[in-house]
Amino acid sequence: MNRHGKWYAAGFTVVSILLSLQLEFSVWDFRYSHLVMAGLSLTVIWLFGIGYDRAMNLAVRDDLTRAYNRRFLNHSIPTLLNKAAKKGEILTLTILDCDDFKKINDENGHHTGDTVLQGIAKLIIKHTRNEDLLVRLGGDEFVLVTRHSTYGSTLTVIERLRQELDILAKEMNLTLSVSAGTAVFPDDGHRLEDLIRMADFRMYQSKLMRKEASAYAALGLSVDEEQHMKQA
């Protein structure tokens, strides 16, 4: 139960007990009726608290991947950034984008596309800690927010993800890869919007470089060799 559910539960408990004290019973009847009412009240409150927490959880979760949704990102991450600023902590915000996702949907159907997104989300969660936050930004884009992390350690997580995506791709008989861009708080910005903008810019840079590398490889060239040919 989250803190809101607990406050509701506590409030209902106090009200229930106060109401029971207003009833006129004999000493014997009051003692046992009070216990019964308290037990029933606690049961109802417990169920109410669970229902409230479930509703709140569903409101901030993506239906398909069970990652957090954009509502959670916009409401909770700014608070997290403020706390990090006060404590002098470093956070990283990484945007991950599934390469050629539209092609996967067009050639294999939306069901396969949904399975791919679910697989990516599971792999990201597998390689992150409980305190890290995964958000589905929309479509095939995810945001990973990591606390007490560095740019280098985040790159290590992304590389592990890519290796496991190769395994998933073989299982699904698809070509799967992700492009990623990371921004570091507070070096790259203090606001959520600034961090997303920088991470998005670096993600598209990465995507373009990977596409160029693939194109050069198809010609039997490396990126360095192509640059040398341009200079010649």
**36-47: per-residue pLDDT in tens?**
555 555 655 544
Q: Binning pLDDT at 50, 70 and 90, where does residue 149 land?
A: confident
pTM of the model: 0.72
Does the pLDDT value for residue 2 go beyond 90? no
H or E element at residue 95: strand 91-98
- The reply to whether 232 falls in a domain is no
Q: Binning pLDDT at 50, 70 and 90, where does residue 59 land?
A: confident
Segment 106-133 mean pLDDT: 94
Judgement on whether residues 133 and 159 belong to the same structural domain of the protein: yes
CB atoms under 10 Å from CB of 19, counted, come to 11
Burial readout 159-187 (b: 16 or more C-beta within 10 A, e: otherwise): eebeebbeebeeeeebebebbbbbbbbbe
CA 36 and chain centroid, separation: 43
Judgement on whether residues 75 and 53 belong to the same structural domain of the protein: no
- The reply to whether 64 falls in a domain is no
In this structure, what token pair is assigned to residue 35? 């216990």
Judgement on whether residues 51 and 161 belong to the same structural domain of the protein: no
Nearest to 183, CA basis, from 169, 201, 166: 201
Question: How far apart, in whole angstroms, are the C-alpha atoms of residue 198 and residue 175?
Answer: 27
**Structural domain of residue 11, as residue ranges?**
3-59
Q: According to the model, what pLDDT value does residue 51 have?
A: 43
From 17, 36, 59, the end of a domain falls on 59
- Phi and psi angles of residue 23, each rounded to the nearest 5 degrees, phi first: -75, 145
- The reply to whether 15 falls in a domain is yes
Q: Binning pLDDT at 50, 70 and 90, where does residue 119 land?
A: very high
In this structure, what token pair is assigned to residue 37? 């009412």
- How many distinct structural domains can be found in the chain? 2
Residue bearing the bigger pLDDT, 204 or 231: 204
Judgement on whether residues 201 and 136 belong to the same structural domain of the protein: yes
- The reply to whether 65 falls in a domain is no
Question: How far apart, in whole angstroms, are the C-alpha atoms of residue 101 and residue 207?
Answer: 13
Q: Binning pLDDT at 50, 70 and 90, where does residue 167 land?
A: very high
Q: Mean pLDDT for the chain?
A: 80
Segment 4-8 mean pLDDT: 54
**60-99: per-residue pLDDT in tens?**
999 999 999 999 999 999 999 999 999 999 999 999 999 9
Question: How far apart, in whole angstroms, are the C-alpha atoms of residue 61 and residue 69?
Answer: 5
Q: What is the CATH number of the domain that holds 154?
A: 3.30.70.270
